[in-house]
């Protein structure tokens, strides 16, 4: 058997949209991973449909390239803090990180989150200033920001002495000279090989392996991915799984071993310490368990994961239209799917309610839970989703605490006043405000997560779509008291049927409509936003009474404004505590949690009395 290639294991970390996945594409191309005539999609690492549509990385994925006789295992990580659970586990598999920063935007909050985790583990960073060909680049200031960030994150002297490359991932070049605008990624490959240490692990000890990713394969069953921490494993070798306390969960055999080669998983006969592999053959073992030779009884210490800060109620869809569009509608199916998700995604917690018809799903943020709902919807599920609520804690004095987030907002100067005013009403505290060049201002706030729920849509309206908001979990702090919610009431359908133009025409004067002509409606469904603060029950199905008498101009065509159609995230952010989003594979509907108007009045009276 041929000698194994020298190894380097690295993770690429960066803020959303700073160009990680595009850079990995170019690393593939220039290392000869793709054939010259091979047709490859752009951002090849963003493999699932939601990643392609949104242009963000959601799942961390390992890959591997070969360069000048060295195998470089690369892990592409999500840039969004909501998917931080993925990143925290991944960092235990690598020996170095490439920190990618945009030459104009600089170090952003999400960069801080992941970099802090990497530095705490003692990983040595290589800083790559990406998109140096931007007209608004400010390379030197960005490098100073990165250095300041490392200092605030308590980097060691060795970590502060980081090498720097200036690159354009899209154009496929990296240089040590910031003025060059051409070349290849050769300097980056060289820097990885020179700067990142090879895995310093014991090849002679018994085999052990920490599970960091779990996925399912139709043919192989559960596939566990991670890095071999010690020893060697061969196909069909007896193995067992240990939990964090060292208890044996199950025993079995390594029925299949697979290594990453480019975008593919390739079967291998054996793997050594330092290799990132996928292993099949166990039915119970899950993320953060240790898989090891049967002689090993001490588990590998897993990284602790930050706790969830937000939860939503996932309920069985009980609307009058339930079961018409989805194929998976029972609580048992929903429960099995959520438990499967919680097993592979350690940042999500699922608890079942006493009535067994709903589940409390806790996660890192609205985006993470929104992606889960969208994925389930595409799989054929029907769900009723409640308004997100934050998870409170208590401090040592027994006082109530709530999660706070650092919010960094980039806006045109003219909108800065509006944003500051809106954040103040949501109990946000301004920490910093500075011009960021090009007529833009960067404002930093510390705000309770509770106040930020539903703000993003309003923020985009206030800034005419030009503002950029980045949020990052900061701490649990003192409870801020009552925060004002949505100011407007809603228009509620008082019957079941199809919306009629004749009825919708006059209702347009009352507010903004969410439904168009011919939309199927039911009693208790929300059809629009009222211009006034109170809710209003209306009849959107009233048709014109026919008479024998017609006057001229009486039958002018009714011209309706196109309805406001909400995306899933907008709908979840919009609803109030007594409302729900009905999610099916084909529709997203807003409704009152209690559909019957009399029951609704009773419930609101009880709430007022309490």
DSSP 335-395: HHHHHHHHHH-TT-EEEE-TTSSEEEEEES-HHHHHHHHHHHHHTTB-EEEEPPEEPPEE-
Beta-sheet pairing, 96-102 with 7-14: parallel
Residue 172 counted as an annotated binding residue:
no
3-state secondary structure 112-156: HHHHHHHHHCCCEEEEEEECCCCCCCCHHHHHHHHHHHHHHCCCC
Write the CA distances from 388 to 339, 354, 363, 423, 529, integer angstroms.
19, 20, 10, 19, 20
**CB-neighbour burial class of residue 237 (10 A; exposed 0-12, middle 13-18, buried 19+):** middle
Residue 133 counted as an annotated binding residue:
yes
Beta-sheet pairing, 579-583 with 588-592: antiparallel
| Residue 100 token pair | 């990618």
Please say whether the dihedral angle defined by the alpha carbons of residues 526, 530, 534 and 539, taken in this order, is positive or negative.
Answer: negative
Strands across the sheet containing 221-230: 248-253, 238-242, 290-293, 208-217, 221-230, 276-280, 256-261, 264-267
Coil, strand or helix at 585: coil
Residue 535 counted as an annotated binding residue:
no
**CB-neighbour burial class of residue 517 (10 A; exposed 0-12, middle 13-18, buried 19+):** middle
Coil, strand or helix at 233: strand
* Cβ–Cβ < 8 Å for 344, 337: no
| Rounded-to-integer distance, Cα 492 and Cα 536, Å | 6
Residue 75 counted as an annotated binding residue:
no
CB atoms within 10 A of CB 423: 22
Residue 17 counted as an annotated binding residue:
yes
| Rounded-to-integer distance, Cα 417 and Cα 424, Å | 11
Residue 111 counted as an annotated binding residue:
no
| Rounded-to-integer distance, Cα 222 and Cα 138, Å | 47
Residue 21 counted as an annotated binding residue:
yes
**Partners of 40 in beta bridges:** none
| Residue 518 token pair | 């011919």
Residue 130 counted as an annotated binding residue:
yes
Residue 245 counted as an annotated binding residue:
no
Contacts of 283 (CB under 8 A, 6+ apart): 221, 222, 250, 252
Contacts 24+ apart (CB under 8 A), 481-485: 481/427, 483/426, 483/427, 483/448, 483/450, 483/451, 484/425, 484/426, 485/454, 485/576, 485/577
Please say whether the dihedral angle defined by the alpha carbons of residues 325, 330, 332 and 338, taken in this order, is positive or negative.
Answer: positive
**Partners of 223 in beta bridges:** 215, 280
**Residues forming the annotated binding site for GTP?**
17-22, 130-133
- Which residues define the annotated binding site? 17-22, 130-133
């Amino acid at each position: 058997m041929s000698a194994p290639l020298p190894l380097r294991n690295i993770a690429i970390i960066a803020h959303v949209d700073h160009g990680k996945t595009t850079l990995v594409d170019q690393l593939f191309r220039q290392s000869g991973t793709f054939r010259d005539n091979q047709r490859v999609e752009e951002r090849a690492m963003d493999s699932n449909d939601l990643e392609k549509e949104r242009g963000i990385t959601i799942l961390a994925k390992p890959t591997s390239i070969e360069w000048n006789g060295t195998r470089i295992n690369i892990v592409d990580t999500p840039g969004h803090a909501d998917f931080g659970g993925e990143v925290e586990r991944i960092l235990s598999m690598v020996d170095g990180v490439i920190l990618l920063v945009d030459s104009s935007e600089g170090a952003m909050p999400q960069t801080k989150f992941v970099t802090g985790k990497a530095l705490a583990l003692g990983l040595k960073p290589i800083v790559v200033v990406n998109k140096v060909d931007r007209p608004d680049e400010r390379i030197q200031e960005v490098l100073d920001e990165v250095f300041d960030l490392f200092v605030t994150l308590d980097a060691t002297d060795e970590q502060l002495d980081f090498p720097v490359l200036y690159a354009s991932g899209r154009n496929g070049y990296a240089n040590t000279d910031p003025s060059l605008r051409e070349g290849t990624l050769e300097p980056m490959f060289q820097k990885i090989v020179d700067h990142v240490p090879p895995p310093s692990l014991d090849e002679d000890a018994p085999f052990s392996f920490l599970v960091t990713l779990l996925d399912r394969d139709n043919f192989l069953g559960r596939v566990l991915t991670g890095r071999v921490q010690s020893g060697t494993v061969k196909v069909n070798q007896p193995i067992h799984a240990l939990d964090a306390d060292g208890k044996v969960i199950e025993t079995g055999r390594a029925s299949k071993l697979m290594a990453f080669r480019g975008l593919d998983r390739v079967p291998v006969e054996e793997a050594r310490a330092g290799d990132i592999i996928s292993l099949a053959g166990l039915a119970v073992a899950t993320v953060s368990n240790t898989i090891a030779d049967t002689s090993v009884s001490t588990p590998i210490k897993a990284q602790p994961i930050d706790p969830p800060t937000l939860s939503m109620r996932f309920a069985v869809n009980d609307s009058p239209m339930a079961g018409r569009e989805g194929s998976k509608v029972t609580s048992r199916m929903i429960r099995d799917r959520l438990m499967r998700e919680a097993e592979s995604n350690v940042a999500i917690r699922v608890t079942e309610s006493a009535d067994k018809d709903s589940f409390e799903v806790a996660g890192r943020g609205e985006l993470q839970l929104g992606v889960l709902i969208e994925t389930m919807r595409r799989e054929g599920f029907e769900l009723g989703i409640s308004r997100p609520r934050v998870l409170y804690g208590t401090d040592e004095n027994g006082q109530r605490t709530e999660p706070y987030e650092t919010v960094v907002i980039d806006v045109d100067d003219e909108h800065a006043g509006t944003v500051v005013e809106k954040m103040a009403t949501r109990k946000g505290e301004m920490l910093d405000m500075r011009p960021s060049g090009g007529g833009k201002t960067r404002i930093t706030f510390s705000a309770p997560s509770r106040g930020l729920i539903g703000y993003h849509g309003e923020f985009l309206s206030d800034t005419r779509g030009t503002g950029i908001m980045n949020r990052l979990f900061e701490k649990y702090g003192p409870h801020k008291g009552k925060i004002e919610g949505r100011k407007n009431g809603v228009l509620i359908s008082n019957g079941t049927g199809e919306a009629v133009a004749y009825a919708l025409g006059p209702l347009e004067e009352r507010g903004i409509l969410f439904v168009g002509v011919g939309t199927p409606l039911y009693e208790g469904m929300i059809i629009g936003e009222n211009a006034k603060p109170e809710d209003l029950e209306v009849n959107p199905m009233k048709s014109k009474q026919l008479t024998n008498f017609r006057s001229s101009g009486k039958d002018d065509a009714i011209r309706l404004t196109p309805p406001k159609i909400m995306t899933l995230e907008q709908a979840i952010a919009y609803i109030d505590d007594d409302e729900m989003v009905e999610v099916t594979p084909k529709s997203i509907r807003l409704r009152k949690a209690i559909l019957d108007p009399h029951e609704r009045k009773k419930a609101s009276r009880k709430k007022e009395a309490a």
